[in-house]
Chain A
């Protein structure tokens, strides 16, 4: 399967801990996006990379959140000092151009105890 791959699928952690998620986009896609989805809502945009450059960040991305895409391939999203409100599904998507659909991974579900 050459789709968008995300790991882990599910992360359970205690409040205050740091967590890191990984996303491997479709190999030829230079655009990579992170979204967050809570129950009963549509995905909310967090940040966008074109190759290794992080070109856009949403206001939702507080200082506790950081994303990287060091070699323009896979990306990581880290959340420091997790809070209850961080519980959500974190989705990664990639696309080849701005006119093509974003292809989504299966997501990482974060549960904060």
Chain B
């Protein structure tokens, strides 16, 4: 059974600081997704990582994938309050989405002024 573990599960940080969220998964996969969820809202796609060594960047967020280590990271640079949200990683092991995505528990991120 695929397990997806995120850490930390809760993170409070100050604006302007850098931090990294880690996502480990237990079964071979080369498809990993990062989503953002604001309170009471649905999930917004942030990044799609489809190969070993993939790196994607959007604004202050950068995601990477190491399939050999079964590890993805989401790095936040010079955090701003607007990035406060819950961030989920999700792994697809079914090959093309046929088995759906397995999500981690999420990292609840609070960025304080």
Contacts and interface: CB of A to CB of B under 8 A. Distances in A.
A and B interact physically: yes
Interface of A: 31, 33, 35, 40-48, 50, 55-56, 58, 91, 93, 95, 97-107
B38 to A, nearest CB: 11
B41 interface: yes
B97 A45 contact: no
Majority DSSP secondary structure for residues of B touching A: loop
B109 interface: no
Nearest to B95: A98
Interface stretch (B13-21, B74-82, B86-94): B86-94
Contacts of A47: 100
Given A48-B97, A98-B97, A43 B103 contact: yes
A57 to B, nearest CB: 10
Contact of A101 (B33, B41, B94, B95): B33
